[in-house]
Amino acid sequence: MADQEIEEAVSRALDESPPRNFTETVDIAVNLRDIDLNDPSNRVDESVVLPEGTGQETSIVVFAEGETAIRAEEVADQVLDGNELADLGDDDDAAKDLAGDTDFFLAEENMMQDIGRYLGTVLGPRGKMPEPVGPDDDIVEVVERMKNSVQIRSGDRRTFHTRVGAEDMSADEIATNIDVIIRRLHASLEKGPLNIDSVYVKTTMGPAQEVA
């Protein structure tokens, strides 16, 4: 069960969001303090599985061949082999479009070197280098986990945002997701809770409500 104060803030954010003709996402804004983000080792860069899901479709592309590729076809949005990877390396615009349209990339371990060579300059700066998949990993299971994941990344900025759900989810579900993210931040930041100045929750177009 999520913290009552978090759930109340989420409820206010949902209640005060003006009606729209589309399903808005729900995001949190995290403000950090007392941390030197010029030092890359202090920056937040975590993939977090949301227990209640993201409330939206998550786009996943897999670089794989053989049996892994066949199994990935069942669950991934797109599966690309070595030849298609090389083609992307020759087409910068197509590579950028793919990076922009995809939430997460996965790749067989033995393809990671080629991905770095062909797509490193496109995926690296966007924080979208693939998660390696080993020969003993179940690609279907990994993709399903990724579908419920979000990336929390600060870069060199004290304020950063991440998706925590959608407005058609319950306040309790969204609050549970927020609680998991805050706990992860407490565990990963050098001074834990002391490095978090404030956290706000809002729908895409609605007013922000302070969570912590």
* Residue located via tokens 């020969």: 135
Under CATH, which number does the domain 60-147 receive? 3.40.50.790
93, pLDDT greater than 70:
yes
* Residue located via tokens 């998706």: 163
The answer to whether the beta carbons of residues 186 and 154 sit under 8 Å apart is no
- Mean pLDDT, range 75-94, rounded to an integer: 96
Q: 41: Cβ–Cβ under 8 A, 6 or more apart, which residues?
A: none
Regarding pTM above 0.85, the answer is: no
Number of neighbours of residue 115 by Cβ within 10 angstroms: 22
The answer to whether the beta carbons of residues 152 and 184 sit under 8 Å apart is yes
The answer to whether the beta carbons of residues 180 and 54 sit under 8 Å apart is no
Domain with CATH 3.40.50.790 in the chain: 60-147
The answer to whether the beta carbons of residues 150 and 27 sit under 8 Å apart is no
- Mean pLDDT, range 62-77, rounded to an integer: 96
pLDDT tens for 114-166 read: 999 999 999 999 989 999 999 999 999 999 999 999 989 998 999 999 999 99
Give the SS3 label for residue 192. helix
| Predicted local distance difference test score (pLDDT) of residue 2 | 61
Write down the architecture of domain 4-55+148-210 according to CATH. Answer: 2-Layer Sandwich (3.30)
| Predicted local distance difference test score (pLDDT) of residue 1 | 45
pLDDT tens for 173-195 read: 999 999 999 999 999 999 999 99
Compute the mean pLDDT over every residue in the chain, rounded to the nearest whole number.
Answer: 94
- Mean pLDDT, range 24-53, rounded to an integer: 94
Domain with CATH 3.30.190.20 in the chain: 4-55+148-210
- Mean pLDDT, range 34-50, rounded to an integer: 93
Number of neighbours of residue 179 by Cβ within 10 angstroms: 18
| Predicted local distance difference test score (pLDDT) of residue 3 | 83
